[in-house]
Amino acid sequence: MKRFKLVLAGVILLLVAGLGFSAQKTVTISWNRNTETDMAQYEVYLNDSLIATVSQPDSGDTVSWTGTVNISDGDNVAKVIAVDEAGNKSQPGLSNSVNPAPAQPTGCTLGVE
């Protein structure tokens, strides 16, 4: 198998469906399509847990996966591993870290009488 480099083109996009320490949220992970002729699929991980296997598309420059997963407030990282037809796996392409926690409140005051 040839060596190849997988680069994540996009970032994790979180469409927050509620707030809390851990919740079901819709996540989209996208990456540059590997153009090797023997490419079979991609393994998609979130925080080191396999969440999907995506088949190699026939065409296009990017590949993406969207699904609903349990995601925690705090840093979350996606990684994608390319797998060829012989089962050889690439090194993971890593996303930036995303924290879906709400922003801290600003303009807080305390009045005492």
Convert the pLDDT of each residue in 57-85 to its tens digit.
Answer: 999 999 999 999 988 878 889 999 999 99
Please, are residues 67 and 33 in contact by the beta-carbon 8 Å criterion?
no
- 110 occurs within a structural domain: no
Model confidence, pTM: 0.71
Write the pLDDT tens digit of every residue in 86-110. Answer: 999 999 998 888 877 766 777 776 7
Q: What is the pLDDT of residues 21-51, one digit of tens each?
A: 677 888 899 999 999 999 999 999 999 999 9
> What is the pLDDT, as a whole number, of residue 21?
60
Q: Is pLDDT above 70 for 11?
A: no
| Res. 16: pLDDT tops 70 | no
Whether residue 50 lies inside any domain: the answer is yes
Sheet holding 39-46, edge to edge: 49-55, 39-46, 78-84, 93-94
**Residue (of 55, 30, 38) closest to 4 by Cα position:** 38
- Domain with residue 40: its CATH number is 2.60.40.10
Does 7 reside within a domain? no
Contact predicate 95/79, CB 8 Å: yes
pLDDT recorded at residue 87: 96
Provide the 10 A C-beta neighbour count for residue 5.
10
Domain count, the chain: 1
- The whole domain housing 48 covers 13-94
User: CB–CB of 69/51 below 8 Å?
Assistant: yes
Q: Which of 106, 109, 91, 112 lies closest to 5, judged by CA?
A: 91
